[in-house]
Structure 1
């Protein structure tokens, strides 16, 4: 089922997170063909965390970016082989399933290595000078590769050995055996008593008998022999060929192949794959095999589908939004410069909160949110409208609050005060946290500025942290390459604000607000960054551009 990710803006506030959560619930009710997932592209602030903890809900998951990743294109159902399985099994997979690389695993999921045509070619063209390489064998693998049955199990299931065919005069066979570097060999032989007795006496690790009609044909005493005895129903040549195919995968797999993770970016993973000889790479999670990434995956066109909540500008959207398919925008802000390649559903109104719009969309769909979702929507509206005190508050917000209050059973005024009181005072927070928690960047008239906002219940606490906040504003300005950075500190009880500025003198001189100190302005009655402060700042930028 295709996934659609619903996200608010960076530095998410409560309205951004709450609207994404509630809209995902609505979409999952009305659309059974897709799976809608609410997310957030930033840390939860103290107030938003309080909301979800108070309501006993899990907040939307953190999504750092939406760039295409390995997980979006990799093969999830991987054909793998156990490290003890045979070469024959690997070749069968290649022939029947047309796969180019086979991961080798142990314990069901742990990746040990890979096998491809490259490893098979090296295996079947050994560089051993005497032409008699030594292999790792497993006696229990004989039945997997050679038609026949085990007559006697050996003490050791796994052993190293070369192989020898007993098809020559005894003395010559004996001399050949004594010239081997490794005195251990698997003997493939017909009914040659002298050669078989030599193998028993010298404790060769395995004897494969050919030309045996039934057990009555075996008149050899194997008492004291510790190796394997296997009865092959094939002739000697075929037995020898299939013996080689019984060798376990772990003996010739490649172990130093790079691993990918499902979170690796598609472009980076493609570069890694193209730098190696193999046509595929394993995808792991803490050493466990979870997928395979091949060269054909590199050229797949992958676009994640997004719904943007509470914003409509790429500068405020999750990283990678420019690579995604944006199918909907639900917002209550001014229109930015975002461009889409296909028509989209755009629902925007000049109301105080995106959660108000989601509440209306529930009505349009003929549905009512459940009490928990209603409480989440109520929280978003109360946060963005400052308990309906902000000048951005509209009649539609008020109607939504009363409706949601009834569904959720919450007294919105008491609950709103509880929400705003949940945040730490300014002295207990770092300047980076205070400024960055709700900081938005705007580009107008060829200039880029940033404005943060923090709500408090007492402006007097600002005096003890003002100097640190001014330093923090300069740091943000440098880090984000801004012309001007500001912080609006809003007292929701007294309904007034103080504006701190990074020190852009040309702009500060044109502000219509009363300066109450160094880089500090007093803004009585100002509660809204969007509706009250931003228009004034944009007026200043326009005047400077003339």
Structure 2
């Protein structure tokens, strides 16, 4: 399962995903912490401080071929025989076998139909295989000779030995099937045939074996009669003699289901090999696998709105949501664990989940949790702060023994530096969209101890905000510049009706106006704006 927070992740989003995945793994699940964007400077400071690896970057959770329960059919090489392939397919109740080279790359496909047609339309008189295949397929015993390539014409001896010599039936390309007709066997040895298959399990005098060795003729003994051996011999041919090699269709395991479906519409193959990113064979896919696909399993933290989540979420199976924001628009097909609590941080909720499961919190995880809480509550200055947040921090710090004043200041200082960041980077690092009926609102928030740097680029910020407002069809686009030390925020904006700002915050709207005491987008900004839009 993948556990991740919202797009443009903040510290609470990342640390809660990491801490919850750690909890799930300790409970026996296979959880992977993910990020839906690059981590910010504050989060990097936290991860570096507690020596925690950053989560993997996840682009989408669309269903891929690797998510399907495709058949893990074992492949064969081109040197296996037709009869071996048939027996393998019959034993495993499969109808298709992939043929691969020494590097596990697909070179052909063989089906039960191909084998059946080879029995009906195949060349019964040609043999292209190796001695080992014949021994295994006919359950034979090697009397003289060694494994070698056998490529020749099949001759079933029923003629008198003098007739064989007279008609010159045998030569170095012949593979002879014969019973205990010793004169005929002698003639075959003299003709230096490639192979003699002695049927009926008969013994052969030593002189014939000696002559065969001298003439480089291999002899094997089989228990079947001559008729049966002659029926089976051409099935000892290499599978490469009948496999399909043209117009092979396959899918890579990372291909998306939507693309696979398009291919299935235009291509009528029954089975498709599945390959890894290096083109190596993994298994076989058919249409039934596509009709009932598995979905990626996900847990959402610190958000529950579609616009803030990952691409392809509608194709995933949401197992759980852990959040401290208002209930959004995400829907599920079945009941899930949905823990939504009015606390200052998602990390606070995760902390209490550890307590509920009676799982010990190690120092690294304690560092993640305390950082997420301090970040999202602005070290308890945010109005979203609760006594549960403070209690969690106190308990976690019993594990860590941090100087909270110094750690918080250093964390905020590292995170609020805007040095070498572009207008676009600053605006989008913590940008979220919200809907109120037909109206869409976009709110970005940046915490900084360097307000002067923002206002030096004020006109550029306003220009970018206007562009976003137009391109995304927002009713209002707002940049909240939060001064942690002054415990308030400056705003830059583009809005269709600025009286909404006046009523929402009791201010005279102007670019860069300071709103005292407003530090929480979730609790103090978005609800007021959406309420005013609704009443407008």
TM class, shorter-chain normalised?
A: 0.7 to 0.9
Residues 269/160 of structure 1: CA separation in 2 closer, same or farther (3 Å cut): farther
- Root-mean-square deviation over aligned CA pairs: 3.3
Cα distance in 2 for partners of 1:260, 1:364 equals 45
Q: Which among 7, 11, 14 is matched to residue 10 of structure 1?
A: 7
Structure 1 regions of 5+ residues with no counterpart?
A: none
1:232 aligns with 2:222: yes
Q: Which among 96, 106, 110 is matched to residue 91 of structure 2?
A: 96
Cα distance in 2 for partners of 1:462, 1:69 equals 43
Answer whether contact 2:212 2:218 (CA < 8 A) is retained: no
Cα distance in 2 for partners of 1:479, 1:366 equals 49
Residues 522/97 of structure 1: CA separation in 2 closer, same or farther (3 Å cut): same
Answer whether contact 2:18 2:55 (CA < 8 A) is retained: yes
Q: Which among 257, 277, 282 is matched to residue 248 of structure 2?
A: 257
Residues 200/278 of structure 1: CA separation in 2 closer, same or farther (3 Å cut): farther
Q: Which among 330, 337, 351 is matched to residue 338 of structure 1?
A: 330
Q: Which among 505, 511, 519 is matched to residue 527 of structure 1?
A: 519
Q: Which residue pairs with 2:177 in the alignment?
A: 188
| 1:1-50 C-alpha deviation (Å, 9 max, x unpaired) | xxx44332222221112112222333444x54x44443333332333233
Residues 224/327 of structure 1: CA separation in 2 closer, same or farther (3 Å cut): same
Cα distance in 1 for partners of 2:351, 2:405 equals 19
Cα distance in 1 for partners of 2:208, 2:281 equals 49
| 1:40-74 C-alpha deviation (Å, 9 max, x unpaired) | 33332333233223322233333333333333332
Q: Which residue pairs with 1:214 in the alignment?
A: 203
Q: Which residue pairs with 1:124 in the alignment?
A: 119
Matches within 5 A, 1:37-186: 37-75=32-70, 77-107=72-102, 109-126=104-121, 134=126, 136-153=128-145, 157-158=148-149, 160-168=151-159, 169-170=163-164, 174=168, 184-186=173-175
| 1:276-320 C-alpha deviation (Å, 9 max, x unpaired) | 454332222123333332333223263444332111222223333
SS at match of 1:429: coil
Q: Which among 272, 278, 282 is matched to residue 273 of structure 2?
A: 282
| 1:344-376 C-alpha deviation (Å, 9 max, x unpaired) | 333223221111122223333444422211111
Answer whether contact 1:514 1:523 (CA < 8 A) is retained: no
1:395 aligns with 2:387: yes
Matches within 5 A, 1:410-429: 410-423=402-415, 425-429=417-421
Cα distance in 1 for partners of 2:266, 2:216 equals 48
Q: Which among 320, 333, 343 is matched to residue 312 of structure 2?
A: 320
Cα distance in 1 for partners of 2:407, 2:510 equals 33
Answer whether contact 2:78 2:239 (CA < 8 A) is retained: yes
Aligned length: 527
Answer whether contact 1:27 1:36 (CA < 8 A) is retained: yes
Structure 2 regions of 5+ residues with no counterpart?
A: none
